Amino acid sequence: MIPFIDLQAQRRRLGQPLEDAILKVVRSGAYIMGPEIAELERQLCAFGQASYALTCGSGTEALVLPLMAWGIGPGDAVFCPSFTFAATAEVMPLVGASPVFVDIDPATYNLDPVSLEAAIVAVKAAGRLTPRAVIAVDLFGGPADYPAITAVCARHGLKLIADSAQGFGCTLAGRHPIHWADVATTSFFPAKPLGCYGDGGAVLCKDPSFHDLLVSLRVHGQAVKSDIEGRTFDHDPKYLNVRIGMNARMDTIQAAVLIEKLKIFEDEIAARNRVADRYGAGLGDLVTTPGVLAGGTSVWAQYTIELPARPGAGRDDLAVRLREQGIPTAVYYPIPIHRQGVYSAYPVAPDGLPVTEAKAGRVISLPMHPYLTPDDQDQIIAAIRAFVKTNA
Ligand SMILES: Cc1ncc(COP(=O)(O)O)c(C=O)c1O
């Protein structure tokens, strides 16, 4: 079977230094907030063009922390796509707020700024919820339309989070999403373009006092420098908890893994782009291949295609045919979030989500990783071409 992603090939490339880095943490005993955490945060800033980076335990925590920092809660609305992983929407109910689902652009699968503005206007007119923020997603690794989304947020006074769990490293006009967004988040889940060996995440931001707030929230609302300046204590201020926070720390071992992986990340992104280009050249005349916004670069977390809209065998038949030939596929995402029972009571954009609903029934993702060989890729391309020519 051709691997859908190949973490073992990456591990072989990283070799002994990766294992040494893990062992160093094991031997140091600094399992929590060891020196690798601050070092990784420094490197994430440099890579992601951010002023501040805060590591945390997952991409989900990375989304919860800024919502908590802004005091978003009951009665508040946060706008997001429905064509995404559940975590993007789940964090609103977690803080007591309501997600409002917005449609996507048919070419890039990312938030449609027109649907977004219509949803904001409708929520304001209904008067039940207060619009507070937008979460845009860099789905499949390509950047959302940040210039247009930022303009909508500015018109309505909303904060913007770039959920770059799948897109860390993507750019638009040479700039990373944090250039436009108030906050950019990512996930280091192992299957992500930059993944660790467990769960992990990060929040990038621009403002020092906001970063301080995140530092506090990450450790149970612990007092940070600005909370204790000019005060004297008859106890250790480490145990002074000045706000409601949680435990959202990243393990030191994961930071050590990520420091090693960052050394090859640029090179892996280039390799992913070569794989995407080969798929595009081999399939672009027969199936719909993914679009990246003009002036943008993708990190290709997934390579997602759509079969021609003609009668004939569909994507499930394609998946079966490919599997018979040792080629795995996956569907991201078969059920849009607003169609999942637990999310069905939350509002959607006034014209509904027709693009989202159509895409959910059509998309299929192909093996995509930096170590996919041209031979394996040609086999995948040939199998899809044969299927489309005989069935579609
Ligand atoms: C778009 C998106 N947002 C958020 C997350 C949550 O990340 P994590 O699994 O690290 O909590 C994911 C991860 O799968 C994701 O794909």
- 349 in Cβ contact with 115 (< 8 Å): yes
Burial 20-49 (b: 16+ CB within 10 A, else e): ebbeebeeeeeeebbebbeebbebbbebbe
3-state DSSP assignment of residue 99? strand
Residue type, 244: I
Given a cut of 50, the residues of the chain with pLDDT beneath it are: none
- 253 in Cβ contact with 26 (< 8 Å): yes
| 254 C-beta closer than 6 A to ligand 1 | no
According to the model, what pLDDT value does residue 392 have?
58
Q: Which atom of ligand 1 is nearest to the CA of 84?
A: 1
The residue whose CA is least distant from atom 12 of ligand 1 is: 165
According to the model, what pLDDT value does residue 117 have?
98
Distance CA(241)–CA(383), nearest Å, equals 59
What is the model's pTM?
Answer: 0.97
- For residue 210, give both structure tokens: 């906001």
According to the model, what pLDDT value does residue 239 have?
87
Helix pair 59-69, 208-218: axis angle to 10 deg:
120
Q: How far is the CA of 80 from the centre of ligand 1 (A)?
A: 14
Helix pair 374-391, 252-283: axis angle to 10 deg:
50
User: Can you list the domains of the chain with their CATH numbers?
Assistant: 7-261 (3.40.640.10), 266-391 (3.90.1150.10)
Distance CA(243)–CA(18), nearest Å, equals 38
Ligand 1 probe mutation, 90, 166, 249, most atoms within 8 A of CB: 166
According to the model, what pLDDT value does residue 56 have?
98
According to the model, what pLDDT value does residue 233 have?
85
According to the model, what pLDDT value does residue 376 have?
98
According to the model, what pLDDT value does residue 238 have?
81
